[in-house]
Chains A and B, each alone.
Chain A
Amino acid sequence: MKNLKLKAARALKDMSQDELAKKVEVSRQTVNAIENGDYNPSVNLCIAICKALGVTLNDLFWQE
């Protein structure tokens, strides 16, 4: 399932996949795979992404 919340949060910060990837020290393909729902990140990576985007884990990764 696509993670549209992550894509929206990234767009809100006016950040490209490349920029976010560099901030959390992963490859751009990894960010792309998370957004497309092809890869489930570890909790550590989730926290790093949330910190980079200034949001909480619930905002990005909690599913109703």
Chain B
Amino acid sequence: MENKSPAYAVGFICGFLAVFAIAFVARFILVKVLKKKKKCAAYDERQIAARGKAAFIGFIALCAWQIFSMCMDISFGTLFMTPALWNFCGLLVGLCAFVITCIWKDAYFAASEKKLWFFIFTIIATILNVLFFFLNYGAKTAFTSDGLLGTPFINLLASFMLLIIVINLFAKIQIDKKNYKEQ
């Protein structure tokens, strides 16, 4: 295992916290501005309830991932990737379960109702992640010295998760269109 200097660790944690702080402030400002312009979406009671259920499913998926990782560690004695990457995988699994449940339960918006931007955004994010992975792969930082998968694989795993979301979104749009026509 590679040893990092204390300065590196402090710098990394500070950077991480700074990103969180910036994201929090940006979100706060954005919500204020949207509320002022009355562009903030209002969700009905079913959507809020659906989101609660989606969060629960996401949490269960995260727990399942932790149990799976425990079993993997006991059985094989290795997780085949760095702990940082493995934990990030758990986050992706939980997030993926949450988003997919939200899509199928129309928790935020109806997939077929002019929400093309979400579809386009997800596809662009998928492509960018694949691109960044190959750039990192080219720089030969994809594997650690122990032969474990390194952090550049985060991009590949994120793109895989986004691809699953895109497929679900596409299927939901098609089913919604069909149901709407039947009505």
Q: Which residues of A contact B (CB under 8 A)?
A: 17, 25-30, 32-33, 39, 41-42, 45
A41 to B44, CA, bound (A): 10
Q: Nearest B residue to A36 by beta-carbon distance?
A: B179
How many residues belonging to B are interface residues under a CB distance threshold of 8 Å? 12
Which of A17, A25, A30 meets B46, CB within 8 Å?
A30
Contact A27 B46 (CB under 8 A): yes
Contact B42 A39 (CB under 8 A): no
Interface residues of B in 100-132 (CB under 8 A from A): 106, 109-110, 113
Contact A26 B110 (CB under 8 A): no
Contact B45 A25 (CB under 8 A): no
Contact A25 B42 (CB under 8 A): yes
Contact A30 B183 (CB under 8 A): no
Give the dominant DSSP class at B's interface: loop
Q: Which residues of B contact A (CB under 8 A)?
A: 42, 44-47, 49, 106, 109-110, 113, 179, 183
Contact A28 B110 (CB under 8 A): yes
Count CB-based A-B contacts (< 8 Å): 31
Shortest beta-carbon distance from A10 to chain B in Å:
11
**Cβ of A27: which chain B residues have Cβ within 8 Å of it?**
44, 46-47, 106, 109-110
Contact B46 A33 (CB under 8 A): yes
Shortest beta-carbon distance from A13 to chain B in Å:
16
Q: Nearest A residue to B113 by beta-carbon distance?
A: A28
A42 to B106, CA, bound (A): 18
A19 to B122, CA, bound (A): 31
Contact B183 A29 (CB under 8 A): no
A29 to B47, CA, bound (A): 9
Task: For the A-B complex with A27-B106, A42-B45 known, give 5 more contacts whose Cβ atoms are closer than 8 Å.
Answer: A26-B45, A27-B46, A28-B113, A32-B179, A39-B46
**Cβ of B183: which chain A residues have Cβ within 8 Å of it?**
17, 32
A15 to B47, CA, bound (A): 22
Q: Nearest B residue to A30 by beta-carbon distance?
A: B46
Which of A17, A29, A41 meets B45, CB within 8 Å?
A41
**Cβ of A41: which chain B residues have Cβ within 8 Å of it?**
45-46
**Cβ of B106: which chain A residues have Cβ within 8 Å of it?**
27, 29
